[in-house]
Amino acid sequence: MRITEAEDRERIKKLAPEKIMDLLFFQVRNLWRVDGFYFLGIEEKFGTEVATEIDANCWSSLAKIEAKELKRIFGIEKVERIATLLELLTNTSWALYQTKKEIEILEDKGIFRVSSCRIQEARLKKGLEIFPCKKVRFGYLKSFVEELSSDFEVLCKSCPPDKKREGFWCEWEFRKKI
């Protein structure tokens, strides 16, 4: 039996809204599980530096795809406001995976903080060291922002390997270019 995307959509539409949400977040977690398994395999065989380099390239490419798709889904041609940029960011797989995050929208900038990082906390549970994810995450966010609009930039305020600040794992600032 062949099943088309349209048929999948119809089948999923028939589910209760709560089940659709469960399915969505299950798939987001699965994406990150696969990422974690691949990363750990590469890290074990080739070391953290090589694994990080490969991870950074993958996530930078994915960020561009996510930005394009989110603009299409939400009918946005060009991002002109920080609030819009952060709205799109909160709908990325990375942001949806982070269950404890803070967003602050100010007049001239936006702040995105991850207070409880599932990735870092899973590594610590497994007895692994904190992953120095700044290179990966910065590349991802930079590519995401550039794909949305050339008017904005992202700055890393804190992210491992930086010393963990009280109350959050990483903090990113988004603002119009000067």
Q: Kindly report, residue by residue over 20-52, the tens digit of the pLDDT.
A: 999 999 999 999 999 999 999 999 999 999 999
Q: Kindly report, residue by residue over 139-178, the tens digit of the pLDDT.
A: 999 999 999 999 999 999 999 999 888 999 999 999 999 8
pLDDT, position 178: 81
Q: How many domains does the chain divide into?
A: 1
Name beta bridge partners: 112.
Answer: 103, 172
Q: At 97, which amino acid appears?
A: Y
User: Which pTM value belongs to this model?
Assistant: 0.91
Domain range for 82 is 5-176
Helices (H), the chain: 5-13, 17-46, 48-74, 82-89, 93-97, 118-125, 134-148
CATH number for the domain that contains residue 163:
3.30.1380
Q: What angle do CA 64, 70, 73 make, to 5 degrees?
A: 145
